[in-house]
Structure 1
Amino acid sequence: MTINDYWETRNAPYQREMQVVEGSGQPTIQFPVVIAPKKQTDKQTVLEEISRLAAQEKSNEPSFIRKLLDANGGAINFKGLPLKSVEDFSDFLSALAGKGKQAWVPHVHVGMEVLRRPLAKNVMTTNEGPPSHFIGWHNEYAVSPVHPGYLVLYCQVPPGAGGETNIVSSLALYDRLKKTVPEFVDKCGKKGLVYQIPHTSAQVGGIVGGNGLYKENAFGPLNGDISKMTDADKRRGVESRIIDLAKRGGWSPEAAKNESLPDWQRRGFDWSWAENGDLEVVHRVPGVRLHPTLKIGSIFNAMSTRYTNAKVNNTWEPPFKFKTGTEEEGIAVPPHFAGVEKDEVIPKEWLEEMDKYQHALGSDVTWEVGDVLVIDNFAVQHARWAWEGDRKIRASFWDEPGIIGEPLTSAA
């Protein structure tokens, strides 16, 4: 696909040659597509040129960025950009969002347990889990009915060693798994997936979660003021927002009685309070979605880390507990399918098959200062490898009108 005279496609050692859908006559792509200015440039020119690829004021056509994502597996890796700060990245995002009916809008998080610190307009920290912590493959916030359409990552400081962002085509995963373990794909839609999401009562930095339950982007009041509320009022408010989130995923008292609906939609969400005020919310959501523009199936989940933890600790049977190196008791709940009466552990052989393809199809994107990775969240999963030294990868989350991955209740 020709872009224009300013940009050129490049080859990178981490690109993976692949067919999104295997078969005779299907196109082969380099994943991700790597794009850079043809010659040394300045920030203002980059902003002007990226705005030409973004949504346009008077156009009803999809943006060039949207077409480029669809033609190249859902990931664009910009290299050679003169973006030296989070403020530079923020300006780039404003140009990338475009104008008009197809313009991107900042995503509004709901029920967010991951601590993300704001750094500049529409720029946040990535997950602050320790460098040794592997974050498995996932579609961004696939645990929830409310998730962004686009994820944009930016390198402010590259890691000393390791720290690659691995990306995998969710569309290729669907294609391969539908052929090898069709019952797994079918149940991901008909039964759905279960996620136990912990929320700390107050913000706790330096851990994988720790956002704080009563923040607006979690389950706190929308005006953010809890100072005059009683504990009972705060809890009622949280529970009301949990129910609202479940409804946004299709649950309702009427849906619960409808046997023709998938299990995730009938069952909805549960929650339980701890004595210290922390909360665990159990989400039940679909695990396959229809890609909004390509109209093909997409694996849409966040099971990889849960699978890895269950595998390492051999916690495939209830109560899913194990002994740590210091003989303390830990818990690692394996991935579950949703059930109306009872949730069920997903056979590990099916999860092994998914893990096999995630490793086989993944591309390890390496980082340099100024790099930007644009990800279509309905087409691509991402993961993070451990690293050494410093690493500052920043994140931004966006939506586009009409770009919604509708649940698939059966494998097409």
Structure 2
Amino acid sequence: MSTSIQSIGVDAPARDYQTAPALVFEPFDLPQSNQRQLGAPHPLGTTIPLALRPSPFRIENINLDDVITTVKELQSQDKVLTKLLALHGALLFRGLPIHNADDFSRFSHAFGYKPHEIIGIVVTRPVLAPNVAPANKAPKEVPIHSHNESPQVPHAPGYIFLYGHKAPSRGGETPMSSSIELFRRVQEEIPEFIAELAEKGLRARITYKNEPQYPGGSTLKEAFGKKIVDGDDLATRRSKIEAQIARYGRGIHTTWEWLDNDEGIVVSHHLPVIRTQPGTKLPTLFTGLASYYTRKGQVEQSYGDGTPIPNRYLKRLVEITEEIRVLHRWEQGDVLVYDNIIAQHGRQPWEGEQTDRVVMASLFDGDEVPGAYGEADWAQVVQALEG
């Protein structure tokens, strides 16, 4: 399988090459089960993922400081890695000296992105290192279908970093696929579904309660209560929660209703499923509908006008997603980086113990949010307000 670039690196003539050779990332091929050429409208020969590793030149001397310096220099040179992400959707880095959460944190921050704050989190994410948390900790038997991160809320990360700290011997792969290719396929096969999504958008209703609703789920306080302190009365707590919800900046397109007996709150968002990639303006299906169809949870989803989405559309969406995805087989130390606007990820079940697979995640904002598809005022998302 051909890759679309030559080796990338930074010339460093001022360095002492005997002690600190310039680091070069070279593309390499993966098995066809783990890498594929993307379909239209991607340029011919574009692979997902683009797999990169350090050049064999003096590889025994590689250290994390050299890797970080090279990443920073590549990003300073017209954001080379960001542009590769915008083309391929996902990058795989293999063979780097990353051994723990702190190493992973340093590597991911080297890209220069702003750490993403999850507003309205629905799962618990304990902090392991700066801007690093465990990936989804659902039971190992539970598959997580391909999705863009945080499609059910207005404020989603631009980039997702995943680090394979421990890989199971069988299973546990991470799917990857193109949201741009997905849009094209769905438009060709079920254009009436695309037309309805463009006209109506999506209504996501998320229930947050005072206690977790499932193992690993978040509480209302974890989702919106970062300003709450001991001693706050009911009115104050609610005011602080509502202020956090208002940070989405969506006005009338985000509403909420309090449950009886102070049990929690239901937050509703009118959101675009179809968004556009900055720069190319290509439409992308930014969605978790396939995951929602295969695994019900605390999020209810319908068309933006409240009418149900026909199961025949969702069923075919799942099938197309599985047709165009590849499964990343983890090796210890691998790092996957996703452009969340145009690439989807997920998780396959694995055999053995729950602890046999340890994947960590780090989320970052992009410089731009995805653009609108159409003229409706609900069709444009915005960066969340500070607070």
Q: TM-score normalized by structure 2?
A: 0.83
The aligned residue for residue 25 of structure 2 is 7
Quick one: which of 146, 150, 153 aligns to 2:155?
146
Aligned to 1:111: 120
271 and 158 in structure 1: CA distance in 2 versus 1, 3 angstrom threshold: farther
SS of 1:96's partner is coil
Distance 1:395 1:225, change over 3 A: same
Tell me, in whole angstroms, the C-alpha distance in 1 between the residues paired with 2:213 and 2:299.
23
Q: Which amino acid aligns with 1:96?
A: F
In the other structure, the counterpart of 1:315 is none
- Identity, in percent, stands at 29
Deviates more, 1:105-114 or 1:357-366: 105-114
1:98-137 paired onto structure 2 within 5 Å: 104-137=113-146
Per-residue deviation at 1:28? 2.6
* Displacement after TM superposition at 1:366 (Å): 1.3
1:71 aligns to what? 87
Q: Distance in 2 between matches of 1:345 and 1:206?
A: 25
Q: Which residue of 2 aligns with 1:395?
A: 361
Q: State the AA in 1 paired with 2:27.
A: T
In structure 2, what is the Cα distance between the partners aligned to 1:385 and 1:170? 19
2:304 to 316, 319, 338: 338
Q: Letter of the aligned partner of 1:367 in structure 2?
A: W
Report if aligned partners of 2:176, 2:344 keep a CA contact under 8 Å in 1: yes
**1:182-219, Cα deviation, whole Å (9 max, x unpaired):** 221222232111223232314x4972422x2123xx21
The whole-number CA distance in structure 1 between the counterparts of 2:45 and 2:66 is 32
**Structure 1 residue 283 displacement after superposition:** 2.5
Structure-2 change in CA distance of 1:385 and 1:69 (3 Å)? same
**Match for 2:225: what amino acid?**
G
1:234 Cα deviation from its structure 2 partner:
1.1
Structure 2 matches for 1:177-196, cutoff 5 A?
A: 177-196=186-205
Deviation at 1:181, TM superposition (A): 1.5
Matched, 1:209 2:175: no
Distance 1:206 1:393, change over 3 A: farther
Q: CA deviation at 1:140?
A: 0.7
| Structure 1 gap segments, 5+ residues each | 98-103, 253-264, 311-330
Alpha-carbon distance, 1:274 to partner: 5.1
**2:225 aligned residue:** 220
Match of 1:36 in 2: 53
Specify the code of the residue in structure 2 equivalent to 1:236.
S
Question: Per-residue deviation at 1:358?
Answer: 0.5
Sort the Cα spacing of 1:78 and 1:131 in 2 relative to 1 into closer, same or farther, 3 A.
same
Residue 50 to residue 198, structure 1, CA distance change in 2 (3 Å):
same
Q: Distance in 2 between matches of 1:234 and 1:127?
A: 28
Matches within 5 A, 1:349-388: 349-388=312-351
| Alpha-carbon separation, structure 2, partners of 1:15 and 1:110 | 33
Q: Does 84-93 or 225-234 show the bigger shift?
A: 225-234
Match of 2:66 among 45, 54, 61: 45
Partner of 2:14: none
The counterpart of 2:172, out of the listed 159, 163, 184, is: 163
Give the whole-Å Cα distance in 1 for the aligned partners of 2:142 and 2:162: 19
Which letter does structure 2 place at the counterpart of 1:126? A
Match of 1:262 in 2: none
In the TM superposition, residue 273 of structure 1 has moved relative to its aligned partner by 1.6
Question: 1:301 aligns to what?
Answer: 287
Letter in 2 for 1:404: V
| Contact 2:204–2:268 (CA under 8 A) maintained in structure 1 | yes
Name the residue aligned to 1:239.
242
Answer whether contact 2:158 2:339 (CA < 8 A) is retained.
yes
Give the aligned CA root-mean-square deviation in angstroms. 2.4
Partner secondary structure for residue 359 of structure 2: strand
CA distance in 1, matches of 2:156, 2:334: 24
| In 1, Cα distance between equivalents of 2:92 and 2:29 | 11
- Shifted more, 359-368 versus 187-196: the winner is 187-196
Aligned to 2:371: 406
User: Aligned match of 1:19 in 39, 50, 54?
Assistant: 39
Give SS of 1:179's match.
Answer: helix
Do 2:123 and 2:217's aligned partners in 1 also have CA atoms closer than 8 Å? yes
Match of 1:84 in 2: 99
Give the AA of the match of 1:129: A
Q: CA deviation at 1:67?
A: 1.6
Question: Quick one: which amino acid aligns to residue 109 of structure 2?
Answer: S
When normalised by structure 1's length, the TM-score is: 0.79
CA gap of 1:30–1:359, structure 2 versus 1, over 3 A, is same
* 2:232 corresponding residue in structure 1: 229
CA contact (8 A) 1:128 1:206 kept: no
- Pairs aligned (count): 349
Q: Which residue of 1 aligns with 2:15?
A: none
Q: Following the alignment from structure 1 to structure 2, what is the Cα–Cα distance between the partners of residues 184 and 274? A: 36
CA distance 1:334–1:114, shift in 2 (3 Å): closer
> What letter corresponds to residue 134 of structure 1 in structure 2?
P
The CA deviation string for residues 153-172 of structure 1, in whole angstroms up to 9 with x for no partner, is 11111123211110110000
Displacement of 1:239 in angstroms is 3.1
Shift in Å at residue 405 of structure 1? Answer: 0.4
Question: Unpaired segments of 5 or more residues in structure 2?
Answer: 10-22, 377-387
